[in-house]
Amino acid sequence: MIKVNEKIAIDHGLKKDEYKRICELLKRNPNITELGIFSAMWNEHCSYKSSKKHLKKLNTKGKKVIQGPGENAGVIDIGDDDAIVFKIESHNHPSFIEPYQGAATGVGGILRDVFTMGARPIANLNSIHFGSPSNKKTKSLLRGVVQGIGGYGNCIGVPTIAGQTSFDESYNGNILVNAMTLGLVKKDKIFYSKAAGLNKPVIYVGSKTGRDGIHGASMASAKFDDKIEEKKPTVQVGDPFTEKLLLEACLELMRDDSIIAIQDMGAAGLTSSSVEMASKGKLGIELHLDKVPCREENMSPYEIMLSESQERMLIVLENGKENKAKEIFDKWNLDFSVIGKTTNSKNIELYFNKDKVANIPIDLLSEEAPEYDRKWKKSKLPQKIKFKKKDFKNLKITEVLKKIISSPNVCSKEWIWEQYDHTVMGDTIQKPGGDAGVVRVHGTEKAIAATVDSSASYCYAHPLSGGKQIVCETWRNLISVGAEPIAITNCLNFGNPEKSENMGEFVECVEGLNEASKYLDFPVVSGNVSFYNETKDKGIKPTPAIGGVGLIKNYKDMITMDLKETGNIILVVGKTEGHLDQSIFAKEILNEKKGPPPEINLFNEKNNGETVLKLIKDKFIMSAHDVSLGGIMTGIAKMCIKGKKGVKFYKFKGLIDKFEYFFSEDQGRYIVEVKKENFEKVKKILEKNSNHYDLIGEVIGDNISINNEPTLSVDKLTEFNKNWLNKYMVN
C-alpha cells in the first residue's frame, strides 16, 4: 500500500491546508484509496467549492418547477401529467485533449443524467466554442468534436435539434464543449438519487469498469500546461450502443416499484455516485469492490473507485427485487452485480477480498467539503466609443452585410449540424438553423422548444450586463418560435477562480443572469460550473452558456424565421438606439473591440416578448426572428435566406445614422412579418401595450433592395453565408 503524504495529496489536486484538514477530520492519515476518494469529492468539479456560495442565490423556484438544482437534472411541468427533464454539462478539458471521445462521452454523460430520472431522452443540443480560425489546432478540434457529438448522438438515436458554435482566440488553448439533453417523463414516474431504507441491496449495472477516465474529475478542475498529452489516459471512452441498451434496460426496470434510488456514474465514477446517494439519504453504504465487474486484470480498489468508465449506473433496489432486475439486465446483455448494501453507519465502508480498505464518514466527503469565499474584483463599465460619421464614410450597407453574413461567428453552421441526425424519432418539427429547435411531444399536440446561447464578448466587456443579456437572448429565441419560456439550465465556463479578476467575472455574470431570471420568471433548474479553463496562465473569456426550454401548446402554432409571402410587411418590435459597441459591425468592419455591451432593459424585454407571443397566439405573425448578432440587417438577411425571398426597405428616416440603425445590437427586439391587411390590428395591440415598433419594409421577389444601393440577390447572399465554413473545413 502506498504511504500517503502531503506531496501525494498535492499531486491529487488537493491544497496543503485541505490535506491537513482531511487528516484532522479523520483523526489519522488517509490511505491511498481514501485520499483518492477525498480528492474526487473535494475537487472543484464535484464540490463546487468556489461557486456554491454564489449559486445559492440563484432563482430556482417557479410554478412549473418540479425539481430544481441538486438532482441529476431539473424537471418542469408541461401539463397533462407530462414533465420535461433537462440539463447542460461541460466536457471541456477532455474534448481539448481528445476531441472525439471527449465530445462523445460528454453527450453520453448528459443523456445518462436525464434517463437516470426516468425520462426518455427526446432531444440533444450543444454549445461549442473554438479558438481563432487561424489557430493551427482549431480545424482538427472542430472536426473531432463534431464527429464525436454526431457519432454518439446519432448511434443512440436521439435527435440533435439545435446548438451554437463560436470562434474566439481566448479558446485557443482551451475549447468548450457543453452538451444538453431533454427527456420526457410522466410526473408520477420521476426517479431520484436519494437512498432510503437499511440493508437495501446496492446494484452495479451497465458496462464493466476499466482504467479509462481515472482522475477525470480532478483533471476537469486542473489548468493545462505543455504536458497536456500526458493527460490522455484521463479521457473516458464511450460506447453509444451499450448506452442504448442501458437506457432501455433502466426504463424497463423503472416500470414497476423496484427502484429506491438511481444515480449514473459520471464524474468520479463509483465514488461520487455512492457518496451522493448515501449523503442525500443520510445513510451509510457498504461496498464490496471485488464484486464490481472489471474488464481489466488486477484493478486496485483505488482504480475501481476512481474509474470513469462510461455507461454505468448505481441502483438501490427494494429487497427481493434483485432476481427480476437481473433478468432485465441479462436480457439487454449488460452486467448486473449486487456489490453492497445501505447501512446505518453513515460511513462509506469499502471491502476488497474481505479486507476493509476504506472507511470514511459520508459527511466528511459532502457536508465538510470546503466552501471558499474567494476574493473577487468588480468590473467597471467600459466607456462608450463615440463613433463618428467619418467612420462610416465610403461604406455600403450591402457590402457590409456580405462581410458580416460570411464572418465566422455569423455564417451558416450547416456544415456542423448536417452531420447530426436531427429527425430520428420522427418528432422534430423545427430543425437546427432557426431560433430554437422544436420537438413534438409524441402522440399529442404539444411541442417543446429548446435553445442554447452564450455571449463571451458581452460578458468579458461587462460581466453583469453580459449575464443578463444571455438569459434575455434565450428568452427571445423561445418566443420567436411561439413558445412560452418556462425554465433554464446553465453551464458556467470560466477561468481560474483563484484569480480575483476571473472570480469577479463569475460572481457578476451569476448576479446578472439571476437578475434577468427573476424578472422574466425564468428559473434556473439545473446546471454545471466549469472552472480552470486556462492554459499557461491564459484563461478563456467568461462564457456562461444558457439552455432554455419552452412549451408550444399546439405545435401547429409554431413560428419559423423564413419569410413567407410577397407583399407582407416587416416590423421591428422594440426600440433601436444604435448601440454599436461590442457589435459584430464594430469588430469586423471598424476593427474596434472596446466599449460596453448593449444595455439591458428588463421591463422592455418582458413587455416586448409577451406582446410578440400574444401576436403569435392571435395568428398575426407569419415569421419572426430576434435581433441579435449583426443587428436588424443581419437578422433580416437570415430570414431572406431561409425563405428564399427578398425584402424592399422603405426610405430610411431614422434619427440615427443608417449603419447604427441597421447593425446595432440593442437588445429586446424582434423582426416580425405581418400581412398588410392585419397591420392596423397589430399596430393597435403594440400601441396599447406601449411597445415601440418601426415599419421598415416589405417582402418582395428574390432581392434585397436598400434605398439607392444596388440590389443584392438572395442567392448571392446565401452563397456568402454558407461558403465560409465549408471552405474553411475543406481547405
The β-bridge partners of 534 are 539
Supply the Cα-derived Rg of the chain in whole angstroms: 26
User: CB of 305 within 8 A of CB of 299?
Assistant: no
Residue from 12, 91, 422, 462 carrying the catalytic annotation = 91
| Grid coordinates of 153 | 448522438
- β-bridge pairing 670-674 and 569-573: antiparallel
User: CB of 59 within 8 A of CB of 517?
Assistant: yes
Instruction: Let me know if 12 is a catalytic residue.
Output: no
| Grid coordinates of 296 | 481489466
Q: What is the DSSP letter of 89?
A: E
**What is the distance between the alpha carbons of residues 724 and 274, in angstroms, rounded to a whole number?**
48
Instruction: Let me know if 129 is a catalytic residue.
Output: no
Within 13 A of 277's CA, how many CA atoms are on the CB side? 37
Secondary structure of 272-298 in the HEC alphabet?
Answer: HHHHHHHHHHCCEEEEEHHHCCECCCC
**What is the distance between the alpha carbons of residues 619 and 706, in angstroms, rounded to a whole number?**
29
User: CB of 95 within 8 A of CB of 127?
Assistant: no
User: CB of 581 within 8 A of CB of 597?
Assistant: yes
Please state, as a whole number, how many other Cβ atoms lie within 10 Å of the Cβ of residue 61: 10
Residue from 45, 54, 462, 625 carrying the catalytic annotation = 45
Q: At what angle do helices 240-253 and 322-331 cross, to 10 degrees?
A: 150
Residue 10 C-alpha from the chain's centroid: 31
User: CB of 583 within 8 A of CB of 475?
Assistant: no
- β-bridge pairing 160-167 and 120-130: parallel
**What is the distance between the alpha carbons of residues 660 and 389, in angstroms, rounded to a whole number?**
10
User: CB of 531 within 8 A of CB of 497?
Assistant: yes
**What is the distance between the alpha carbons of residues 670 and 472, in angstroms, rounded to a whole number?**
12
Burial class from Cβ neighbours inside 10 Å (0-12, 13-18, 19+) for residue 646 reads buried
**What is the distance between the alpha carbons of residues 565 and 673, in angstroms, rounded to a whole number?**
9
Q: Which residues are catalytic?
A: 45, 91
